[in-house]
Amino acid sequence: MRPQTHQHTKGVARLSSSEQRQSICDDTFFTIPSSRRPKGIDAIAGPDKKRILFVDDDDDTCELIAFCFPQFEIVTADSMVGGLLLAQSRLFDLYLLDNWLPDGTGIELCRQIRQFDPCTPVIFYSAVANESDIQHALSAGAQAYVVKPESIEKVERVILQSLNAAGVPVSQRTQVAR
């Protein structure tokens, strides 16, 4: 378990402009149209960044998501247990879950999160693309399921739609007692 908070400059301090950040994201399996980033992005998050818990055991994917979404505070965990501990100890605006984790599934994690936090949006971002798992994830309480690799633009669109639909800022939300 290695829960951590990424800052968008972690490991890439030499990159200072949005064009350089754009280039890094474009060199991966994501594609980001130059007209799409970063124009207006920081205004969406406002002065307080939205906090997202991203549970995925792939370090490269965690770094990429943190790097491509500097408008959010991305907190990561690499296991179901680590994700659950963080979800229970802090308030998040959104949960972004992989389905295959070393100690369980994202579906199990989603069900456990829903026991104490029934309102915060959950999005699956996973390479598991079979219809059965997608349906189980949605039945467990997820709002969306995005299959990897998908463009960063689509991932961002789903995140923003889910955050807008939730509507209640994390600072005004309380978790159900455990």
Q: In this structure, is residue 41 part of a structural domain? A: yes
11 pLDDT above the threshold of 90: no
Q: In this structure, is residue 111 part of a structural domain? A: yes
84 pLDDT above the threshold of 50: yes
pLDDT of residue 166: 85
Q: In this structure, is residue 172 part of a structural domain? A: no
pLDDT of residue 168: 55
pLDDT of residue 72: 97
Cis status, amide bond into 47, omega within 30 of 0: no
- Give phi and psi for 101, each to the nearest 5: -120, 155
Q: In this structure, is residue 110 part of a structural domain? A: yes
pLDDT of residue 109: 98
Q: In this structure, is residue 174 part of a structural domain? A: no
Does pTM top 0.85 for this prediction? Answer: no
Q: In this structure, is residue 176 part of a structural domain? A: no
For the CA atoms of the chain, what is the radius of gyration? 15
- Residue-wise pLDDT tens digits, 123-137: 999 999 999 999 999
> Between 119 and 173, whose confidence is greater?
119
Residue 35's pLDDT band (cuts 50, 70, 90): very low
Domain range enclosing 27:
4-167
- Measured distance CA(5)–CA(60) in Å, rounded: 14
pLDDT of residue 169: 55
20 pLDDT above the threshold of 50: no
Q: In this structure, is residue 89 part of a structural domain? A: yes
Mean predicted lDDT score pLDDT of the chain: 77
Please, is 106 exposed, middle or buried when counting C-beta atoms within 10 Å of its C-beta (0-12, 13-18, 19+)?
buried
Answer for the pair 153, 41: CB distance below 8 angstroms, yes or no. Answer: no
> How many structural domains does the chain have?
1
pLDDT of residue 47: 56
pLDDT of residue 10: 32
- Measured distance CA(15)–CA(113) in Å, rounded: 36
Q: Return the CATH number at 39.
A: 3.40.50.2300
Q: In this structure, is residue 20 part of a structural domain? A: yes
9 pLDDT above the threshold of 50: no
Q: Can you tell me the mean pLDDT for 78-95? A: 97
